[in-house]
Amino acid sequence: MTIKLPIYLDNAATTRIDPRVLAKMLPYLENEYGNPASRSHVFGWHAEDAIEHAREQVAQTIGCDSKEIIWTSGATEATNLALKGAANFYQERGKHLITIKTEHKATLDTMRELERIGFEVTYLTPETNGLIDIEKLIKAIRPDTILISVMFVNNEIGVIQDIAAIGNLCQSRNIIFHVDAVQAVGKIEFSLKDIYVDLMSLSGHKVYGPKGIGALYVRRKPRVRLMPQIHGGGHERGFRSGTLPTHQIVGMGEAFSLAKQEMPQELPRIKQLRDKLLEGLQDIEEVYINGDMEHRIVHNLNISFNYVEGESLMMAIKDIAVSSGSACTSASLEPSYVLRALGRNDELAHSSIRFSLGRFNTSEEIDYTINLLKTKIAKLRELSPLWEMFKEGVDLNNYQWQSHGERDIILHN
């Protein structure tokens, strides 16, 4: 069997839209073009029906009431609304917020902005396996703590935080609890009927739905209040103004519904693929798994290949689409802040690869990936002076490296 290249193993970045989702969306880009806010004619009524149906689908998937779902342009906006909206509303109670160093930038950058306007934020360091120690979280709580934000599943290393335990803690301390659940929907079974969460950010495109659509769950009993961040028309019960994109919403609703329906068959299948990938790559010497393997979604494998530099590895495996924690692949020239927060050294952060598997990956693709990596890692290690030194038994950590310092760099133009 021939394999279609390149192979997509970057499903934590985004997913291919499911054809069944696309089929549901298309009518709303063709004949059903009404504005769901138009109350005076059938075009508007049809669009509104579609939106309420999708709202019900999302609510059923996460186990809440459809009235608790607010549509947004994506999870980044949902997180902005949750954190800024709650912080601003509850600031009379206190101005202290808590989050984790390994959160998504949507949370971290929003927290930075809140710091700028006078809030105080504690950024907890997770344990070396990526999980947070609830005792340390308890110690970080102050009398003026009004909000805690913790992601359900980490986007880089796939570890699952104990949201139920943190939820109980927040409920007992009367602290607003926000959860970024972008990487959790369709990947782990959970229901808001069983866990206590006040605000939850959701995304369409990580679950085989369209980009540009997300939602925020806002608890109604007891009611969580937010200051709206976008004004202009009072849509979504005043929480978020702006004409609703019917086709996107229909897509997200269908995608969530499918995710719930497919999970029982999909998770074991993807786990098999991931375990096969892990087994294949573990044959290679000097590989390190990043993040806990037990409390982890079955879709994710984050692995560092010691003595191989990340960018050259990415160049070597350009037929497979993956992400790297290497500085060279990011705009910031810093290696992954998530791996750094776990205490991984720079070299291992530089040489890390995130494989994120999804609904459309096949066993043949995993075979191809394992073979390609084995060949390319061997080739790059043949090139690597560090590998040679490691093999000669040199202690690389205590070696005196001679790095180039203060020399003038002559630009070539």
Partner 1 sequence: MSYSNKVLDHYENPKNVGSLDKNDPNVGTGMVGAPACGDVMKLQIKVDASGVIEDARFKTYGCGSAIASSSLVTEWLKGKTLDQAQQIKNSQIADELELPPVKIHCSVLAEDAIKAAIIDYKNKH
Residue 328 annotated as catalytic: yes
Closest distance of CB 290 from partner 1, Å: 17
- Give the Cα separation of 307 and 309 in Å (integer): 7
User: Shortest CA distance to 85 belongs to which of 221, 253, 201?
Assistant: 201
- Exactly one of 198, 266, 309, 365 binds partner 1 (CB under 8 A); that residue is 309
Residue closer to partner 1, measured from CB, 180 or 347: 347
Is 273 in a helix, a strand, or coil? helix
Considering only 57-65, 209-217, 268-276, 304-312, which stretch makes contact with partner 1 by CB under 8 A?
304-312
Q: Least distance in Å: CB of 351 to partner 1?
A: 9
174 binds partner 1 (CB under 8 A): no
* Paired tokens of 51: 């939106």
β strands within 312-400, DSSP E: 320-321, 323-324, 352-356
Q: What is the DSSP string of 366-391?
A: HHHHHHHHHHHHHHHHHH-HHHHHHH
**Interaction mask 70-99, partner 1, x per CB under 8 A:** ------------------------------
Nearer to partner 1, 154 or 336 (CB): 336
Q: Using an 8 Å Cβ cutoff, are 316 and 327 in contact?
A: no
Catalytic residue among 328, 372, 386, 389: 328
Identity of the residue numbered 193? K
Give the nearest distance from C-beta 411 to partner 1 in angstroms: 6
Omega within 30 of 0 (cis) for the link into 36: no
Q: 223 vs 404, which CB is nearer to partner 1?
A: 404
Map the footprint of partner 1 across residues 324-383, applying CB under 8 A. Answer: 326-329, 333, 345-347, 350, 382-383
Q: Which two tokens stand for residue 162?
A: 């104990």
Q: How far is the CB of 287 from partner 1 (least distance, A)?
A: 16
DSSP E strand stretches across 62-133: 69-72, 96-100, 120-124
Q: Under the rule (CB under 8 A), what is the footprint of partner 1?
A: 307-312, 315, 326-329, 333, 345-347, 350, 382-388, 396, 401-404, 407, 409-412
Which positions are annotated as active-site residues?
Answer: 328
